[in-house]
Amino acid sequence: MSIPGKELMNKIFAGPFAALLLSVTAAPGLRAEEKRRAPEPRETPVAVVGKTPITAAKLEETIGSELMALRNQEHNLKMKALENLIAQTLSETEAAARGVSVEELFRIEVESKIAPVTENEKKAAYEVARERYRDRPETEAMKAIEEVLRQQRIRERGLEYLKELRTKAGVRVLLEPLRVAVDPSDDPSKGPASAPVTIVEFSDFQCSYCSEVSLTLKKVTERYGDKVRLVFRDFPLDMHKEAPKAAEAAACAHEQRKYWEMHDRLFANQANLKVDDLKRHAAEIGLKADRFNTCLDSGKYTAEWQEDMKEGTRYGVSSTPVFFINGRLLTGSQPIEAFARVIDEELGRLAPLEAAAARKP
């Protein structure tokens, strides 16, 4: 049986959505079983070898990143399928209200509203992609390019129109995002503990992407103020030999209430992270040299970054930088728009709860 509006969705969206739809609707018996099965407590043995128990926590530490990848994949499949179903429902509802077919609605609101591809646009695209079309006559290549550009415009206008329909219908997505219960309790932080959004960052002072995104995070905290709390956790990668001692240097600076000054200094001087450099940085940001040097040389905070790494691995961290925004995973040196999208969604989810609480007598 054909799905009403499927042709419209296929023109607007890329990819085989039939499989995505099946991922949501298939195997109800398995989902029911999953609901009945309570999650294993972390210290519960999942096997016993002689008299030695192997706990659920130990198992998850071993395959943390693989488990997280699978959970993300499952959630992303559901979200893509849900977005497809929302788009399909919107188009069918609007078409019925107008008394036209979905296909006619598509022609009226999408195809008829895109600008034609000009000769100059075709020629410019051909010059860029000339090598790709070297085995085809130029006239044939120009026709192919025209169709590619046209389909691109159809997709862009289709997405724009669906956004208009979503706003008109007041669509609310209730499917909860995937969250990881990340502990932010005793690590260096900026922002109030009561902030509605907590960003836990796993980072490496020798990682260039981490340095790059640290500037973005400053913009995030400036934009959102007391609505955001930023927590920094260490995850020095094996390839970065000076990162562990740099993490210890930041912890020693924390003793003298200058963690973030050292944090910024280390990211700004990634080519100078040897022990002598760290001691020089400490003196230049105004730390008491004797106290800092004794702290750094003692290895006092080695266990701190090791514990962060152990927990990070359990959460699925295997590279840096990695962020958990209210437990929602974001990886890599992302632009501020990526952080803002998740933060705004989280604040939007909390707004109705806060309004309901305010109405209570």
Collapse the DSSP code of 231 into the 3-class scheme (helix H, G, I; strand E, B; otherwise coil) and give the result: strand
Whether 262 and 347 map to the same domain: the answer is: yes
Which of 57-66, 155-164, 192-201, 310-319 is predicted with the least confidence, judged by mean pLDDT? 57-66
Widest CA span of the chain, in angstroms?
Answer: 81
- Mean pLDDT (whole number) for 319-344: 95
Beta strands in the chain (DSSP E): 45-49, 52-55, 189-190, 197-203, 228-234, 322-325, 328-331
When divided into structural domains, the chain yields a total of 2
> Residue 112 belongs to what domain range?
6-169
Task: Kindly state whether residue 255 falls inside one of the protein's structural domains.
Answer: yes
**CATH code: domain of residue 200:** 3.40.30.10
Please tell me the predicted confidence (pLDDT) of residue 186. 81
How many H-runs (helices) and E-runs (strands) does the chain carry?
A: 15, 7
Is 49 a residue whose pLDDT tops 70? yes
Which residues in 340-361 are b (16+ Cβ under 10 Å) and which e?
Answer: eebbebbbebeeeeeeeeeeee
The reply to whether 107 and 249 lie within a common domain is no
pLDDT of residue 360: 62
Position 106 in a domain: yes
Question: Average pLDDT, stretch 256-277?
Answer: 97
- Sequence-distant (≥ 6) Cβ neighbours of residue 223 within 8 angstroms: 336, 340
What does the pLDDT read at residue 118? 95
Per-residue pLDDT, averaged over 226-239, amounts to: 97
The reply to whether the predicted model has a pTM over 0.75 is no
And the tokens for 100? 């036209």
pLDDT over 70 at 356, yes or no: no
Out of 109, 139, 169, pick the residue that ends a domain. 169
Do 35 and 156 have their domain in common? yes
Give yes or no: residues 78 and 120 share one domain.
Answer: yes
Eight-class DSSP state of 347? H
* Higher pLDDT pick, 70 / 195: 195
Whether residue 249 is found in the same domain as residue 313: yes
Q: Quick one: which of 347, 330, 338, 349 has its CA closest to 220?
A: 338
Q: Are residues 112 and 211 in the same domain?
A: no
The confidence score (pLDDT) of residue 174 equals 87
Judge whether 17 lies within some domain: yes
In this structure, is residue 259 part of a structural domain? yes
Residue 124 domain-assigned?
Answer: yes
Q: What are phi and psi of 114, to 5 degrees?
A: -90, 145
Q: What confidence score (pLDDT) does residue 59 get? A: 86
pLDDT given at position 56: 86
Distance CA 77, CA 81 (A): 6
pLDDT of residue 64: 76
- Residue 184 falls inside a structural domain: no
Residue 18 pLDDT grade (very low, low, confident, very high; cuts 50, 70, 90): very low
343 and 248 in a single domain? The answer is yes
- Looking at the fold, whether 142 and 38 belong to one and the same domain comes out as yes
pLDDT for residue 24:
35
- Strands 189-190 and 197-203: what pairing? unpaired
Q: Tell how far CA 310 is from the center of its chain.
A: 21
pLDDT of residue 185: 74
| 47 beta partners | 54
Q: Indicate whether 176 belongs to any domain.
A: no
Average pLDDT, the chain: 87
Domain co-membership, 42 together with 164: yes
Cβ contact 308:234 at 8 Å = yes
Q: Give tens-digit pLDDT for 115-141.
A: 999 999 999 999 998 889 888 999 999
Per the CB < 8 A criterion, the answer to whether 6 and 20 are in contact is no
Confidence at residue 352, expressed as pLDDT on a 0 to 100 scale: 62
Residues with Cβ within 8 Å of residue 185, at least 6 apart in sequence: none
Name the token pair of 73.
């994949």
CB 248 within 8 A of CB 296: yes
How far is the CA of 42 from the CAs of 178, 315, 352, in angstroms? 19, 13, 33
**Domain for residue 1, yes or no?**
no
Q: Return d(Cα 261, Cα 259) in angstroms, integer.
A: 6
- Per-residue confidence at 88, pLDDT binned at 50, 70, 90? very high
Indicate if 285 and 223 belong to the same structural domain. yes
pLDDT at 226: 96
Can you give the pLDDT at residue 66? 84
- Shared domain for 255 and 317, answered yes or no, is yes
- For the chain, what percent of residues have pLDDT higher than 70? 86
Same domain, 102 and 165: yes
